[in-house]
Amino acid sequence: MENNETYPRGGHQHPLLGNALLLKPGGGEFFLQLIEYSEVFRSLPLLKIWIGPVPFLVVYHAETVEPLLSSSKHMDKSFAYKFLHPWLGKGLLTSTGEKWRSRRKMITPTFHFAILSEFLEVMNEQSKILVEKLNIHADKGTFNCFMDVTLCALDIICETAMGTKINAQKNSDSDYIRAIYEMSDFIHRRQKMPWLWPDILFSNLRIGKRHDANLKILHSFTDKTIVERAEEMKNSGETENSGSRKTKKRSAFLDMLLRAKDEAGNGLSHMDIREEVDTFMFEGHDTTAAALNWSLFLLGSHPEAQKKVHEELDETFGQSDRPVTMDDLKKLRYLEAVIKEALRIYPSVPFFARTITEDCTIRGFKVPKGVNVVIVPYALHRDPEFFPEPEEFRPERFFPENASGRNPYAYIPFSAGLRNCIGQKFALMEEKVVLASILRNFSVQASQKREDLCLVGELILRPQDGMWIQLKNRKST
């Protein structure tokens, strides 16, 4: 790379392992190390590190991120994403080139507003179960809500993606649920440890054998669901043709994939469908759960903001227990600003990576083809140029009059450009429904201080020791 000497370096480089030996093994330590680098070198445009023989550039300025994400050229995911392939194949998250373009075009209509509204019933039902679980803790002191919220998000994505219930909120000990969480951990550990990269070595280690056992559980569950759903649709069609009436079953993302056709009129294969269903199960619950937990924590730390949310909810719902409607969601403007500000301070995906697919120039530096670029929303969202006093929680930043004119690449919790998150409307809708359900019933008080939280930045950003809060029942006061 030209101007090589002005790149900030991550310390001593080993000829084979690069900077990998300097990277902390734990998710929390590694993430804090990355953030420390970005803070120390904020005045410089790029940070360079080597993980094994692979060079990485770390970027965290809007003007550096924009040419990467706005381009139709640098759309390939980083080398590190290859470790997702055994589970997710080459679906929407991991595919490249023409396969990605055709698949994105085919799937985009499934996130139409009218279709999303059909998922609202599931979100309301699962939120109600969550409220019932949380009610056990109301007025009874401090408890860890992180997994309660996460299991609710898992139930929502499972039923909306696959059309089947796993009842995670009532049975969190299932093999499928355990496999999801173990796989996420294994993948992250492998991504940053070059000695685990060779498949032949990894598969013979204990971690590799656990990885493969979990893979069998995850794929078997998805395969069974696809076959059963396809058979149901076939039988339903036969019933309708025979003239008998049958109760309409809820739509699921899987149903739309089974019906989807490309421009040539070809449908998706079983493997294609499994890739996308597994991708949405992987991407669609942990990220949303993290956003919900961080929103609760920040509201519980800022009673003045929580009061505004309660006033908005009371104005919209009164004292009723009715489900949230699409019209209600449009009225919850302050709650939406709260969620967006929570995603600014604690983005669910704290960093992600792309591969440079042809020689280019970034901020005056010539970067050759093949270099991996790590984009760090956690650091990007703290640029005081766009967010004065960035550590302060101010939902008003996202009022239309305050957000107008802001560089769109200064805030990217769902990535940006052509390869932005296809499910971001779904995610915001789910977060508003779940938070509205919780806050209509409870007042929240955080039991941790921000400075005492240990952040773990792996595939998602989470607090190391959970999310500890107190709840007060609003209905009893």
3-state helix, strand, coil in the chain (%, to 5): 55, 10, 35
3-class DSSP state of 446: strand
Query: Exposed (0-12), middle (13-18) or buried (19+): which is 164, by Cβ within 10 Å?
Result: middle
Contacts of 88 (CB under 8 A, 6+ apart): 94, 275, 278, 279, 282
Angle in degrees, 0-180, between the axes of helices 270-283 and 206-241, rounded to the nearest 10: 120
Give the C-alpha separation, 475 to 477, whole Å.
6
Report whether 122 contacts 434 (CB < 8 A). no
Give the C-alpha separation, 262 to 124, whole Å.
33
Give the C-alpha separation, 371 to 360, whole Å.
10
Angle in degrees, 0-180, between the axes of helices 146-162 and 270-283, rounded to the nearest 10: 160
Give the C-alpha separation, 283 to 94, whole Å.
12
Indicate the annotated binding residues.
421
- Give the CA distances from residue 196 to residues 88, 186, 227, 419, 449, in Å, rounded to whole numbers and listed in that order: 19, 10, 34, 29, 37
Report whether 275 contacts 91 (CB < 8 A). yes
Indicate the annotated binding residues for heme.
421
Give the C-alpha separation, 138 to 472, whole Å.
5
Which two three-digit tokens encode residue 40?
């120390």
Give the C-alpha separation, 171 to 186, whole Å.
23
- Give the CA distances from residue 166 to residues 160, 219, 242, in Å, rounded to whole numbers and listed in that order: 11, 15, 32
